Structure 1
Amino acid sequence: MNISTLEDLFSHDLSDVYSAEKQILRALPKMSRAASDPQLISAFEQHLEETRGQIERLDRLAEMTDFVSITGMTCHALEGLAEEAQEIMDSVDAGPVRDAGLIGAAQKVEHYEIAAYGTLHALALKLGLNEAAELLAETLQEEKETDKKLTAIAGLQA
């Protein structure tokens, strides 16, 4: 994709985060099955439902602008983070250590998403896409809340 305008950058970043959310949708059930702490399992399951809603929001966002198309690009950053989570699931025995590793892997994903949605929100505001900015702010807040929840669960793991 040729990026020469803020609109192009917004469309590119939106496509990237769309790919990331689709990858997260596939990874969360695996992480939930690999976890042993009931609160962590619940957090993964809740975030799976939120992720479905976030994808729906991204679809709505793409429909409301005439220049955005969510292309079939792949978010390579999320691919790497998903691989790291898979390594934990494959190499660490079930229990508190694996749960701690899964929390860390999930928080890396959350921090990536917080950065991505923060950037998209700022771009939407700059482009005067106020309704899009509101949708992005809603998702950004969900990602921040998930990160806080994971931090609280990690504190219980100690």
Structure 2
Amino acid sequence: MKNSNTKTAAKKETAAKSSSSTSKSKTTAAKTPASKAPLKAKSSAADGLRALFVDSLKDIYWAEKALTKALPKMAKNATSQNLIDAINDHLEVTKNQVTRLEEVFASVGEKAAAKKCDAMEGLIKEGEGIMEETELGAVRDAGIIAASQKIEHYEIATYGTLAAFAKTLGEDEAVSLLVQTLNEEKEADITLTEAAYNTINFDAVEEEK
């Protein structure tokens, strides 16, 4: 009788352990996140490098047009004459870049069209926020330079990539045009850096004392 009771107890203990193990397995499985499925592309998604290249051209075309409206606001809010002159000079350069992009479109057999650039929209809004949150003077000038350089770095990255795409696609005329704009953006970045280090940032520090 004792042996029978012992065997029964052993079976119950084994069943309990099995049940506990199964429960833990289910809990672990529930905690393990399911692998994410790849994003589903839009029906208008680019299906090749040329399509991506053209789509990116539309993006920066919108961005440059938006800048022709944003730069005058920056110049109006700046106080350093050197900074005002630099912004106004770059405004004229930007207008020429818009025209040059239209030439790029034509060189690859595409109609010039703009597609909203979320990145540039965000950078412009950030610049507007900086101007609203700083007092008119050297501190705001420093903020305008910071915002402008973020824009320049975005443009440098974009034009560098577009030039690489165009080279891969064998679009030599487009490469030449895009590299010309790329060099202009690099020059603008250097001008802003010199303004920041030589006058604006130091004036801002003194103003805070």
| Superposition TM-score, scaled by structure 2 size | 0.73
**Higher RCO (CA 8 Å, separation ≥ 6 residues):** 1
Note the 1:143-158 alignment, pairs <5 A: 143-155=185-197, 156-157=199-200, 158=202
Distance 2:134 2:62 in 1: 28
Letter in 2 for 1:113: E
1:22-41 CA-to-partner distances (Å, cap 9, x unmatched) read: 11111000000000000100
Corresponding residue of 1:137: 179
Is 1:120 aligned with 2:162?
yes
Is 1:7 aligned with 2:50?
yes
CA-CA distance at 1:70 after TM superposition: 3.5
Task: Calculate the aligned-residue CA RMSD, in Å.
Answer: 0.9
8 Å CA contact 1:103–1:150 kept in 2: the answer is yes
Note the 1:91-106 alignment, pairs <5 A: 91-106=133-148
Corresponding residue of 1:84: 126
CA-CA distance at 1:64 after TM superposition: 1.6
Distance 1:56 1:70 in 2: 10
8 Å CA contact 1:57–1:135 kept in 2: the answer is yes
8 Å CA contact 1:35–1:98 kept in 2: the answer is yes
| Superposition TM-score, scaled by structure 1 size | 0.96
Distance 2:92 2:114 in 1: 23
1:60-93 CA-to-partner distances (Å, cap 9, x unmatched) read: 1111212x34433100001110101101111211
Distance 1:140 1:71 in 2: 20
User: SS in structure 2 opposite 1:92?
Assistant: coil
Note the 1:53-68 alignment, pairs <5 A: 53-66=96-109, 68=110
Corresponding residue of 2:152: 110
8 Å CA contact 1:85–1:105 kept in 2: the answer is yes
Corresponding residue of 1:73: 115
Between Structure 1 and Structure 2, whose CA radius of gyration is higher? 2
User: SS in structure 2 opposite 1:12?
Assistant: helix
Distance 1:4 1:132 in 2: 21
Distance 2:58 2:45 in 1: 13
8 Å CA contact 2:163–2:179 kept in 1: the answer is yes
Corresponding residue of 2:84: 41
- Between the aligned residues of both structures, percent identity stands at 45
8 Å CA contact 2:61–2:114 kept in 1: the answer is no
